Amino acid sequence: MQIQKVPQIPVLPKKKRVAAYCRVSTGKDAMLHSLSAQVSYYSKLIQSHADWLYCGVYADEGISGTKNDRDEFLRMLTDCRAGKLDLLLTKSISRFARNTVTLLQTVRELKTLNVDVYFEEQRIHSISAEGELMLTIMSSIAQEESRCISENVTWGHRKRFADGKILMSYKTFLGYDRGEDGNPVINPVQAEVVRSIYRMFMEGKTPFAIAKALEKKHILSPAGSSHWSAGTINSILTNEKYKGDALLQKHYTVDFLTKKQKKNEGEVPQYYVQGSHPAIIEPREWETVQSELAYRKSMGKAYSGTGVFSSKLICSDCGDFFGSKVWHSTDKYRKEIWRCNHKFNHETKCTTPHLTTQQIQNLFLTAYNELMQDRTQVIADCAMLHEQVLDCTKQERAIAEVDREIAVTIALVAASVKENATTAQEQDEYNRKFAELEAQYNAQKAKRDALLQEIKDKKARAESISAFMRTLANNDLVLEEWDERLWLTLVEKGTVLPDGSINFLFKNGTEILAVE
């Protein structure tokens, strides 16, 4: 038997497919120059190895290593999963990720895909035997460094807050630009948009209607979008910065890794700075708007923003609101009238008549002039009422008591959990007790929230009375012409009677019947 050796075909060495990952954590010019230098460096390095196949450089600009939305990083992982890469080069662990968990999960996944990651500064190959231990140690150090940086930044912000220095996101804050000294200065064009928003609101329009009006005029939103939302309008209407004040630290960072922010509900200090910068809206006008916002909120869905009389005039027969109706809308006899919205919807037709805009205005002037006949006494009564309404002692005591109850419940929960962790227990019984404590905590928290809302409502009512007093004190005793601002500031509601008269309820509780 003759055995012949089969000649082997030489196997060509397979080139290792290599790419690099770079990242800088800010978009400033100097940092972007650094990124450009990194890309250039890795391109030359990879192509200088004859046994390496250059597969490109993945580069993220201006993104923190603690975030999970790095587009290039995610694209790199997708390519690894598709089997396109064998080796990744990166400058250091902190450039790759500052979150220990994310780093190890990523490296382990790449390891299962036979993709090696080489960290230059630490001289670690992730696929080596000692690689994972070293990565765990080094990434923990990087994570602690990230935490320290975050805490230092947070401390810097809070120090500025304590010093009364304002931070504004000027790119998305309508009405102000950053001045040469770093403080806010009014942007005249944007400020006029802000004033128009406040003006339209006080004319009776809803935030949704204001948003649509701005879109129709092709005015861009604070974010530079052609779309406006009711939420954006509400934010502008309630932001104290437009009256020249600043409430600092409304939100705070909960987790330095996720950068998750939470509304500050007393967890960290807040600072209120009066007159910190030029006002776009007069403080009194701003306070009037807050009062009107509180009133509309109390109305709920019943509020209509079709005009200044919307949700203010009530039918004495059925209790429904008056709404505007247009007669002869397409001819020269066009006329707007106000009538009970449900006049013909009941078994018995409402007897209240329709009223013209002029009639309503005249009746208001009559009621206003009667109210002002004893202005001094009315203001004195308002001051007394304001003091009573603003007294929140009862609610504050109740909150203190609820806080004590909540502390006890939390202690019981902690003790229950600890006992279950250290002593064998019947789990069904444990779960039952835990559910009871949880329900008890939720009930206490709901009670606390209700008390806080009571305080908020009382303060809104007190501000409404303050605006009422200021308006009375600063206006003429006799009003001869219709004043829309006075109507919105002073009148709670007007009940229309069958004879066409209106019983006005003013915001200080005074009722005056006006007959034409």
Q: The domain spanning residue 118 has which CATH number? A: 3.40.50.1390
- Does the residue 330 lie in any domain? yes
Tokens (6 digits) for 353: 């008549």
Same domain, 56 and 107: yes
Same domain, 175 and 99: no
Same domain, 149 and 176: no
Geometric angle at alpha carbon 69, from 220 and 137, rounded to 5°: 145
The C-alpha atoms of residue 329 and residue 326 are separated, in whole angstroms, by: 6
Selection from 4-18, 117-131, 207-221 with the highest mean pLDDT: 207-221
Same domain, 144 and 183: no
Same domain, 256 and 317: no
With cut-offs at 50, 70 and 90, classify the pLDDT of residue 18: very high
Instruction: Give residue-wise pLDDT tens across range 388-419.
Output: 888 889 999 999 999 899 888 888 887 887 77
With cut-offs at 50, 70 and 90, classify the pLDDT of residue 65: very low
Q: Residue range 482-500: average pLDDT?
A: 87
Q: Residue range 466-476: average pLDDT?
A: 81
- Does the residue 5 lie in any domain? no
- When divided into structural domains, the chain yields a total of 3
Q: Give the percent of the chain with pLDDT over 70.
A: 77
Instruction: Give residue-wise pLDDT tens across range 290-345.
Output: 877 877 776 666 565 567 787 789 999 999 889 888 887 677 777 888 999 888 88
Rounded to the nearest 5°, which phi and psi values hold at 80? Answer: -65, -45
Predicted confidence at residue 30, as pLDDT, reads 47
Q: Which residues, in sequence order, are bridge partners of residue 435?
A: none
Residue 260 has pLDDT above 70, yes or no: no
Mean pLDDT for the chain? 79
Choose the final residue of a domain: 127, 153, 179.
153
Q: Residue range 228-255: average pLDDT?
A: 78
Tokens (6 digits) for 206: 């809803």
Predicted confidence at residue 37, as pLDDT, reads 79
- Residue pair 222/235 in contact (Cβ under 8 Å)? The answer is no
Q: Using CA of residue 57, residue 61, residue 65, residue 67, what is the dihedral sign?
A: negative
Q: Find the domain containing 448 and state its range.
A: 313-403+439-514
Predicted confidence at residue 302, as pLDDT, reads 56
Q: Residue range 458-472: average pLDDT?
A: 80
Same domain, 100 and 200: no
CATH number at residue 259: 3.90.1750.20
Predicted confidence at residue 313, as pLDDT, reads 92
Same domain, 129 and 210: no
User: How many helices and strands (H and E) does the chain possess?
Assistant: 14, 18
- Does the residue 345 lie in any domain? yes
Same domain, 463 and 376: yes
Rounded to the nearest 5°, which phi and psi values hold at 387? Answer: -65, -40
Give strand ranges (E) for 313-471. 313-315, 322-327, 335-340, 355-356
Same domain, 99 and 25: yes
Which amino acid is it at 409? T
- Does the residue 429 lie in any domain? no
Report which DSSP code applies to 346: S
Q: Residue range 151-180: average pLDDT?
A: 66
In the chain, what is the greatest distance between 2 CA atoms, to the nearest angstrom?
A: 134
With cut-offs at 50, 70 and 90, classify the pLDDT of residue 256: very low
Predicted confidence at residue 261, as pLDDT, reads 55
The C-alpha atoms of residue 391 and residue 454 are separated, in whole angstroms, by: 11
Residue 5 has pLDDT above 50, yes or no: no
- Residue pair 39/91 in contact (Cβ under 8 Å)? The answer is no
Geometric angle at alpha carbon 94, from 93 and 98, rounded to 5°: 105
Cα within 13 Å of Cα(86), Cβ side: 10
Identify which has the larger pLDDT, 149 or 71: 71
- Does the residue 417 lie in any domain? no
Rounded to the nearest 5°, which phi and psi values hold at 11? Answer: -90, 125
Give the lowest-confidence range in 27-36, 419-428, 455-464.
27-36
Predicted confidence at residue 170, as pLDDT, reads 80
